[in-house]
Copies of this chain bind each other. A is one copy, B any other.
Amino acid sequence: MDATALRQLLDDVASGLRPPDEAMARLRRLPFVDLGFARVDHHRVLRQRMGEAVYAPGKSADQCAAIVAELLAEPDGGPVVLTRAEPSQVASALAAAPGGTVTATGALAVVVWRAAPPRVARILVVTAGTADLPVAHECTATLEAHGLRPTVLADCGVAGVHRLLASVDELTDADAVVVVAGMEGALASLVAGITAAPVIAIPVSSGYGAALQGVTALLAMHASCAAGLTVVGIDNGFGAACAIVRLLP
């Protein structure tokens, strides 16, 4: 229920079109649908300009399919994104809701339905190594669901800093940059020191030595000496994409 509808509701009470009891009941109700195992939020696209995402882990294939179908049943809804889905979850969801676009992210997949129309923005997704690509792909698939066409610069880790410096122009011209880095996560500091654009860092659970499944990169990115760098959770390519959607004008 947006502000206009709220006003209308109260006008209806004032004009006698609607009894107070009914209005009181309505005020408690915001637009979601309760499937028993999930309360599907049809309001999110209005409230947040983002589509609804279904995080697959922990849900049965049937639950994934039912939630996706319910979301697509809303005629004015935005993009629908199923993330980190196993093959059986992908299959169920596509059976219930044909037409989704599947992007592999390592052993899992992202599926997108009803992608937003294309919009123009220069978004860079920079990875430190090849092993960071599955996370980068979760990010790019989510960006594409929202109509964006990011450019991926893979394998720019700081051990060969000239590989990053070769892309200085793209970095300084970008509207926003996502840095995807495991191990020590140093690439994020370096990129944030080069560009004036918003930089969102994704710590990745890859790496060895003392990478601690991404905790080291997460901590390092937060201890960064580069001002204005922000960070999302470990391996959270979806979240970084949503942050980009939030900050674009």
Produce 1/0 per residue, A177-218, CB < 8 A to B: 000001111100110111111111000001111111001111
Residues of A in contact, count (CB < 8 Å): 116
Q: Whole-angstrom distance between the alpha carbons of A207 and B194 in the complex?
A: 21
Asked if A227 and B206 make an inter-chain contact with CB atoms under 8 angstroms apart, the answer reads: no
**Given contacts A155-B37, A210-B218, are A232 and B235 in contact (CB under 8 A)?**
no
Q: Whole-angstrom distance between the alpha carbons of A207 and B97 in the complex?
A: 26
Q: Whole-angstrom distance between the alpha carbons of A218 and B227 in the complex?
A: 18
Please provide the chain A residues from 29 to 47 with a CB less than 8 Å away from any CB of chain B in the complex. Answer: 29-30, 32, 36-39, 41, 43-44, 47
What are 25 pairs between A and B in contact, CB < 8 Å? A6-B27, A10-B13, A27-B27, A38-B155, A39-B156, A47-B172, A47-B194, A48-B193, A49-B196, A158-B226, A161-B190, A183-B225, A190-B190, A198-B247, A200-B230, A207-B223, A210-B218, A210-B220, A211-B219, A212-B223, A218-B222, A222-B234, A227-B238, A229-B239, A230-B232
